[in-house]
Amino acid sequence: MKKPIPKDEEIVLDPKRYIVSETDEKGKITFANDYFCEVSGYTQEELIGQPHSIVRHPDMPKVVFKLLWETIQQGKNINAVVKNLAKDGRYYWIFTEFEIRKDTDTGKIIGYHASRKKISRHVIEILADLYAKLLEIEKKEGIAASEKYLVAFLKEKGESIEFANIMEEIHKFY
């Protein structure tokens, strides 16, 4: 499926509704609720079986997803703020709660559940600037340099954290 061309038009989310999806352990979508379809512009048929990156906006630094995947693959839940890309090229910002789904018999990770909701404009503005800086570093020096900058940014704010809480820590400062 061809990625849409991003345009500078935000989709305003309903603060009373949640976007919900589930993926398998590799990140392929196995469930998408009606609101996810409505906001993203994709049908259930277009989403199911696709990698969740189908809605990844090019403004998102790869280091955010690197840290997210490292955390959830360790069996830890994580929260993250993400800018997504709709099928028509518009974008929407979400606060996402990623939860691990495990096989009840083996305890093995079998997938992930994510529910998303609207976040404040203030947090979006702060993170958009931080993400732009991380993306700029990634393009010039790579993901490792971007991660180093992010760790230094958080340490400068006076926090020593695990990446599982990275977005919660960023929110504390703003």
Tell me the pLDDT of the chain averaged across its residues: 88
Please say whether the dihedral angle defined by the alpha carbons of residues 17, 4, 25 and 151, taken in this order, is positive or negative.
negative
- What value does the mean pLDDT take over residues 97-113? 91
51-71, pLDDT tens digit by residue?
A: 999 999 999 999 999 988 888
In this structure, the number of other CB atoms found within 10 A of the CB of residue 95 comes to 18
Domain boundaries, the chain: 19-172
Query: Domain 19-172 in CATH: superfamily?
Result: PAS domain (3.30.450.20)
What pLDDT was estimated at residue 80?
A: 87
pLDDT at 75: 87
Highest mean pLDDT among 14-23, 73-82, 118-127, 156-165: 14-23
CA–CA distance from 3 to each of 8, 88, 170 (Å)? 15, 10, 30
- The DSSP H or E segment spanning 73 is helix 62-73
pLDDT digits 0-9 by tens, 139-154:
999 999 999 998 888 7
* pTM of the model as a whole: 0.85
Mean pLDDT of 82-96: 95
Which residue carries 């954290």 as its tokens? 161
Top pLDDT among 83 and 119 is at 83
